[in-house]
């Protein structure tokens, strides 16, 4: 079971990269992201696509795989973010999103435990070098569900 979940996770991350790389719109960007979540305490790796919706509004679908704390998780997230105007290359943003998590927990005894949960989140962050050739971000996300991680901190870059 664990190999199926991990194989699915790798396939989802590869699909996210392939879909985002195939986007030909000038405003659409993508990139890798990494960070950690708390409760469970895990290291997370993934990718995001940034799609402009309107002036300063973006849809940011992203996928992460995470490991640690005797669990392996896959998360699919659909976030919407508003970037505040700024005269500098630092642009703070706020947003909200919907998340779907699949947890594969190592348990004592026979078999492993696997379950899925969905929930909502609020997020905030800052884009640095926003007007430069390689913008990057730092983001915090608070999940509003008992079954999802309490908090996730991510950093990423647009390519």
Residue pair 44/34 in contact by the 8 Å Cβ criterion: yes
pLDDT at residue 111, as a whole number: 66
Task: Calculate the dihedral angle through the C-alpha atoms of 77, 80, 85, 86, rounding to the nearest 10 degrees.
Answer: -10
Sites in the chain below the pLDDT cut of 70: 1-26, 109-112
pLDDT at residue 10, as a whole number: 44
Q: Which domain holds residue 26?
A: 2-157
Radius of gyration of the chain from Cα atoms? 16
Strand partners for 115: 103
Strand partners for 79: 60, 97
pLDDT at residue 137, as a whole number: 97
**Count of domains observed in the chain:** 1
Q: Minimal CA–CA distance to 52: which of 78, 81, 13, 17?
A: 81
pTM above 0.85, yes or no: no
Indicate which CATH number applies to the domain containing 46. 2.40.160.20
pLDDT at residue 87, as a whole number: 87
């Amino acid at each position: 079971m664990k190999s199926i979940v991990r194989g699915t996770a790798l396939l989802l991350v590869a699909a996210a990269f392939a879909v985002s790389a195939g986007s030909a719109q000038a405003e659409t960007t993508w990139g890798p992201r990494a960070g950690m979540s708390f409760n469970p305490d895990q290291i997370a790796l993934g990718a995001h696509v940034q799609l402009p919706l309107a002036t300063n509004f973006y849809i940011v679908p992203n996928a992460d795989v995470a490991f640690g704390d005797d669990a392996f998780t896959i998360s699919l997230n659909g976030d919407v973010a508003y970037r505040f105007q700024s005269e500098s290359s630092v642009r703070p943003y706020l947003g909200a999103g919907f998340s779907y998590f699949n947890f594969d927990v190592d348990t004592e005894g026979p078999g492993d435990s696997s379950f899925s949960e969905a929930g909502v989140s609020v997020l905030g962050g800052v884009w640095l070098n926003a007007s430069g050739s390689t913008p990057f971000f730092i983001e915090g996300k608070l999940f509003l569900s008992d079954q999802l991680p309490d908090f996730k901190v991510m950093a990423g870059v647009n390519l």
